[in-house]
């Protein structure tokens, strides 16, 4: 038996469409979740962050740069 088969289900009213559903966790029913994945879901994409460059108006500490 898989984990999904042994887990208890809840009888709830779907907060999105208002129909009765038997689900493992509270939230949209299976039908609403599928619709949301089709309309709102997207694929993950990698975003490259720019390298940090300190501001030019920042001066070093006078004590640290003392020779």
* pLDDT at res. 1: 45
Number of domains, the chain? 1
Domain that holds residue 17: 3-39
Distance separating alpha carbons of residues 31 and 7, to the nearest angstrom: 20
Let me know: does 23 contact 9? Beta carbons within 8 Å. Answer: yes
Domain contains 7 = yes
Domain contains 31 = yes
Distance separating alpha carbons of residues 32 and 21, to the nearest angstrom: 11
Domain contains 48 = no
pLDDT tens per residue, range 2-40: 555 557 888 999 999 999 999 999 999 999 999 998 898
Let me know: does 33 contact 25? Beta carbons within 8 Å. Answer: no
Domain contains 66 = no
pLDDT tens per residue, range 38-62: 898 788 888 888 888 777 776 666 6
Domain contains 57 = no
Q: Is 49 exposed, middle or buried (0-12, 13-18, 19+ CB in 10 A)?
A: exposed
Q: CA nearest 32: which of 46, 45, 50, 20?
A: 20
Q: What is the reported pTM?
A: 0.50
């Amino acid at each position: 038996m898989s984990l999904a088969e042994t887990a208890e289900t809840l009888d709830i009213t779907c907060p999105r469409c208002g129909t009765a559903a038997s689900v493992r966790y509270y939230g949209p029913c299976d039908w609403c979740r599928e619709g949301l994945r089709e309309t709102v879901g997207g694929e993950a994409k990698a975003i490259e962050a720019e390298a940090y460059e300190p501001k030019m108006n920042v001066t070093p500490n006078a004590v640290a740069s003392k020779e």
